[in-house]
Amino acid sequence: MLESQSWTFTTLPACCARAAEVYGDSPYIEDGGVTLSFRDFDAERRRFAKALIASGIEAGDRIMIMAPNCANWLIAAMGAASAGAIMIPVSTRFRSAEIEDLALRGGAKLVVSVGQFLDRHFPDLLNDKVRAQLNEVVVLDNAGSDTAWADFMARAEDVEDAELAAREAALTPETICDILFTSGTTGRSKGVMYAHQQFLRVVAAWTERVGMRRGDRTLVIPPFFHAFGYRGGAIGSLIVGATVLPHQAYDPGEVLARVGAERVSVIPGPPAIFQGMLNHPGFEDTDRSSLRLGITGGAVIPSILVERMKTDLGCEGVCNGYGLTECGGYGTMCHTSDPIEVVAKTAGTPMPGVEIAVFGEDGTQLPQGETGEIRIRGYIVMQGYFDDPEATAATIDAEGWLHTGDVGRFDDAGNLVVEDRLKDMYITGGFNCYPAEIERMLSNHPAIGQVAVIGIPDARMGEVGKAFVVLRPGQSATEAEIIAWAREQMANYKVPRVVEIRAALPVSAQGKVLKRELAAEPA
């Protein structure tokens, strides 16, 4: 029995305080030359919360975090929750227009940003419209004219413990703690609101299902702005008493080196992470003896990959799962004891306390074995889409079922088999890519008259985007030029890896592009 099973999960600050009490001076985060114990981390998240209060941030205000995986990202996230603020994570792959969209629609009051990262100064991505709305920009390094992290944290001295205690006491299990923006088939992202208790309850259940335990050393490669990295990797480790080793940019050689040098025992991440490690030319020369768990999901996993994760990587447990941001990133999960074929061909069974059923087109629930739309009901379902009641009502019906749009069935053992994903969505290296959103952005190119995007198989990334483009009359552009333009306009994982220019696209009688015909064409 996990020590955390005896906890009463209410709010994120209460969980941080409980972890500090139970795990004390054991290391929670090792980030380069910085090591924070569970007790240290609790003190730092309290300092950040006090600094927010001193800076005029009120309960319910939105705070954006725009930084790679690091200790300060987690301090800011838990500190914001402790002050009653709502955290909005931002992808470090986003460009200025994407950040503007999140900041303005989310009503952000303050941004915590990395300074120099990926060959750019990230605060420079905050344009005049965004800065006009913000009270302040706090920068982790190379602050320039913005507020330096150390100067911001020093404000905590001006706030009494009692004031922070009052903020924490005002929180309830149903208080919104974060908003994760997720794209959809309409091409416009929607903010998924999640509350304190459901966050903690589902992460605790997930850690038990996958077998994380006290003393594990978790290499968190998925970004903290993603539910997998933030909730499963970082907060999952907080709950069970494991050590978080943040990783900022995936390189299979670097990951293998860290596994041996830092005695990594758990790696959560999409299949592409494990495929890259296994295919690395220096694989056989690395020490993988500490590795215990490989936790993956978000894509179909070939049986041979599961076998190699066990035999070659040395993972005694390999898990696969299925989930949506609208459900905190969770839904179903395999057990570490499941046989290879179950892990490879199914997404496991529903999480405890969660109902998952399959429905036909007429809205009736289908029996086991029949294929239909996957729907989810229970405590893991989001509180709704931020400032979008119409979209919320269209997604969660009157009986509380969340309509996923995904198609699947249950096998004889009760494992969910996902047959198809959310309409046209494809997954690149663990990131959800929605063609409608990418098409909308590509349509801003001055030479593009019509565009259709689909996902195509890729040996390394699982799937990548392919854009079929019809140019505007009198305009010219090459495939390479369109890809280069796209890299300047959108996150890297959204950029189509292949562009094909055509005279016309196949359409239905109603004028809708027939993507199935495009997908069925030989490669």
In tens, the pLDDT along 89-148 reads: 999 989 999 999 999 999 999 999 999 998 899 999 999 999 999 999 999 999 999 999
276, with CB counted inside 10 A (0-12, 13-18, 19+), is buried
In tens, the pLDDT along 323-345 reads: 999 999 999 999 988 898 898 88
In tens, the pLDDT along 159-185 reads: 999 999 999 999 999 999 999 998 654
**CA 418/CA 406 separation, integer angstroms:** 7
**CA 408/CA 442 separation, integer angstroms:** 31
Q: What are the start and end residues of each CATH 2.30.38.10 domain in the chain?
A: 350-423
**CA 498/CA 482 separation, integer angstroms:** 10
In tens, the pLDDT along 466-507 reads: 999 999 878 899 999 999 999 999 999 999 999 999 988 886
**CA 488/CA 490 separation, integer angstroms:** 6
**CA 51/CA 79 separation, integer angstroms:** 9
What superfamily does domain 350-423 belong to in CATH? Luciferase; Domain 3 (2.30.38.10)
Diameter of the chain measured on Cα atoms: 69
Fill in the DSSP letter of residue 108.
E
**CA 471/CA 501 separation, integer angstroms:** 7
Position 509 scores a pLDDT of 44
Position 185 scores a pLDDT of 46
Average pLDDT over residues 370-375: 91
In tens, the pLDDT along 391-427 reads: 999 999 999 999 998 888 999 999 998 875 656 678 8
464-500 CB burial, b ≥16 within 10 A, e <16: bbbbbbbbeeeeebeeeebeebbeebbbbbbbbeebe
CB-CB contact of 405 with 425 (8 Å): no
**Is the predicted pLDDT of residue 299 greater than 70, yes or no?**
no
CB-CB contact of 246 with 268 (8 Å): no
Domain 426-520 class in CATH: alpha beta
Average pLDDT over residues 245-270: 94
Computed over every residue of the chain, the mean pLDDT equals 91
Residue that has been written with the tokens 């890299």 in this structure: 487
Q: What are the start and end residues of each CATH 3.40.50.980 domain in the chain?
A: 37-195
CB-CB contact of 89 with 224 (8 Å): yes
**CA 383/CA 226 separation, integer angstroms:** 18
Q: How far is CA 436 from the centre of its chain?
A: 20
**Is the predicted pLDDT of residue 191 greater than 60, yes or no?**
yes
414-445 CB burial, b ≥16 within 10 A, e <16: ebbbbeebbebbbbbbbbbbbbbbbbebbeeb
Position 1 scores a pLDDT of 47
In tens, the pLDDT along 46-60 reads: 999 999 999 999 999
Whether domain 37-195 has CATH 3.40.50.980: the reply is yes
More confident residue, 436 or 119: 119
**Is the predicted pLDDT of residue 187 greater than 70, yes or no?**
no
CB-CB contact of 437 with 387 (8 Å): no
Q: What are the start and end residues of each CATH 3.30.300.30 domain in the chain?
A: 426-520
